Amino acid sequence: MQKTRKKKPDLVGRVENDDSNGAELPVVIFRNWCKGCGICVEFCPQGTLAIDAADEKAFVAYPEKCTLCGICELRCPDFAIARAKKKKRKNVGGEDCVENN
């Protein structure tokens, strides 16, 4: 008997919408997995994330500040954060350039 594996949802190219202000969110936070440790908030170099006082979980407070660096995704011990858009590498004139999706 063969087991079928459940596949993790593919988030590349997917854009999440913020219900409160209609902005496109650069990162997805799986709130059921988030324990509110605040590591993502502390490591975010742009100050994009914050902890919600009501349920003590991370949320995208300033989506316009996000540079898609991925530090929050790498530092989250519970794998509760994923970038909705990934940076692409583009070779221009022999040099690697990074551009946002």
Helix (H) or strand (E) holding 25: strand 24-25
Q: Output the CA angle 10-16-20, nearest 5 degrees.
A: 155
Question: For the chain, how many residues are written?
Answer: 101
pLDDT of residue 25: 77
CATH number of the domain encompassing residue 83? 3.30.70.20
pLDDT number for residue 92: 58
Using alpha carbons, select from 78, 80, 83, 72 the residue that is nearest to residue 40: 72
pLDDT digits (tens, 9 = 90+) for 54-93: 999 999 999 889 999 999 999 999 999 998 766 555 565 6
**Domain enclosing residue 34, as ranges:** 16-99
For residue 15, the model assigns a pLDDT of: 43
Residue 9 domain-assigned (yes or no): no
Q: Model-level pTM greater than 0.75?
A: no
Angle at 85 between CA 50 and CA 32, to 5 degrees: 45
Instruction: Specify the number of domains making up the chain.
Output: 1
**Residue 8, domain member (yes or no):** no
**27 domain-assigned:** yes
